[in-house]
Amino acid sequence: MAKLDKGTLALTFKFDCDRFLRFRLASDAEKDTLGVSAETYKRPGIELIKAAGRRWEADKYQDLIDTSDDGKVVFLLEDKVDDLLGRKPFKKIQNLFDILRQQEPPQAIIEAEFTVPTNITPGLQKAYDDFGLDQVRVRPDILWIRPGGTGAPLIGNGTVPEYEIHIIDVKMAAEPSLRHFTEVTYYALALATAIQQEGLSGRYAVSAEGTIWPGSHDINAFRNLVQLYQAKGAADPVSEALSETLIRVPMKSMKSTLSSFSRIVFSGFCRPTWRMPVGMSVPSASFATTFATAERRHPNAIIFPGWPGSIRGRRNCSVQMALPLRRD
C-alpha cells in the first residue's frame, strides 16, 4: 500500500510536481515491473550528507540535555555506537502519550513517535478512505512542553491549557526551506489531532507555530546563550535560549496549503483507475530521461500529464522521471 508520509508531502511541495507525487505513491510491484528503483538514482555522497545532518541533530539534542536539569528531558540511546555519527544514536520514544499522562510532564521529549491520525484534514481522510493508503508514523525531533499561557497561537478551541506543546525540527540548514516548514506543520496538525483522540486535550494544546532549530557555524551557540541568560539571572535560561534560537513557521498559510493539497490532489488525479501496465518492457534508464524522450520510447503511454487535479496546473518539473501509465 502507498503511504503519504511527511517526506512525500514535503517534497511534493518543494518540486510542485504531480509526476513526482505519482512516483512516490507507486507501489513496489509497479516499480518492480518497470525495473525502477529510487535507490539507483540517489545523489552521490547523499549518505554522508544525511550523516552530517544526523550528527548536527544529535549535537543539538545533547546541548538541550546538558543544559537542562536532570530528568527534564526524556530520551533514549541505542546500545551501539554509530561510526558515522561518532556516538550512540538517539532512539525513538514509543510511549509518548503515557509520558504526557504523567502528573508533571518533562520539559522536552526527544524523538517521540506516534501514529498520524487519518483525519487531520477532511481531504486527507477522504484520501485514506478512497485509495486505501497505509497509516504512517512520525517522529518530531523535539517536543518542547511549556506551561500554558505563553501567548503563542494554539490549535484548538482557544482556551488556555495547562501545558503547551511546541514542535521543534532540528535542521543543519541555516535558512529553512518550504520543505522544512511543511514537515513541521504536518507534525503539529497530526499531534493536535492525536492528543484529542487520546483524551488529553483538556491538559494540552499544540502550538500553531511550529519551529525550526537552524544550523549555525558556531556549534556552541546554544550553550553560550544558555550561559548568557544564566548570568542575567533568567528564571528559565533554557527556554529563553530556545526562544532566541528557533525560527517560527507561519501556521495559518501552511495549514491552508496542506488542506488544499489533500483535497485537490487526491480528488484530481490519484484515482484507482490509473495504474502501470503489467508486463510492459521499460528500460530502467527511462527513469532518468526527459519526459519527451520517454514519450518517444513509449508512444502509447501516458507520461504524467498535467491532469485537472494538479497542484497549480504546472507541467514543468525539476525532477526528471517517467513512469508509463495507462487508463483502463
For 21-62, how does the pLDDT look when each residue is reduced to its tens digit (9 = 90+)?
777 777 777 777 877 766 665 677 777 888 888 999 999 999
Lowest mean pLDDT among 10-24, 126-140, 175-189, 202-216: 10-24
The DSSP call for residue 3 is: B
Q: pLDDT at position 57, please?
A: 94
Lowest mean pLDDT among 4-8, 12-16, 284-288: 284-288
Q: What is the pLDDT of residues 71-121, one digit of tens each?
A: 999 999 999 999 888 899 999 999 999 999 999 999 999 999 999 998 887
The answer to whether the beta carbons of residues 54 and 78 sit under 8 Å apart is no
Residue type, 176: P
State the cell numbers at 170.
532540528
Write the CA distances from 179 to 10, 261, 280, 286, integer angstroms.
5, 14, 34, 27
Q: In the predicted model, is pLDDT for residue 301 greater than 70?
A: no
State the cell numbers at 72.
527534564
Ramachandran region, residue 149 (left: φ > 0; alpha: ψ -120 to 50; beta: rest): left
Of 196 and 303, more confident: 196
The span from the CA of 245 to the CA of 204, in Å, is 24
Q: pLDDT at position 268, please?
A: 40
Q: In the predicted model, is pLDDT for residue 289 greater than 70?
A: no
Total-model pTM: 0.76
Burial class for 289, CB neighbours closer than 10 Å (0-12, 13-18, 19+): middle
CA dihedral 179, 185, 186, 190 (to 10 degrees): 170
Which residue blocks in 156-284 are alpha helix, DSSP H?
Answer: 178-197, 221-231, 237-245, 251-260, 266-268
The span from the CA of 90 to the CA of 173, in Å, is 20
Burial class for 275, CB neighbours closer than 10 Å (0-12, 13-18, 19+): middle
Write the CA distances from 291 to 17, 150, 241, 304, integer angstroms.
13, 51, 49, 9
Q: pLDDT at position 80, please?
A: 94
Q: pLDDT at position 74, please?
A: 97
Residue 267 binned pLDDT confidence (cut-offs 50, 70, 90): very low
State the cell numbers at 189.
496538525
Q: pLDDT at position 294, please?
A: 38
Residue 255 binned pLDDT confidence (cut-offs 50, 70, 90): low
Residue type, 67: T
State the cell numbers at 174.
541555516
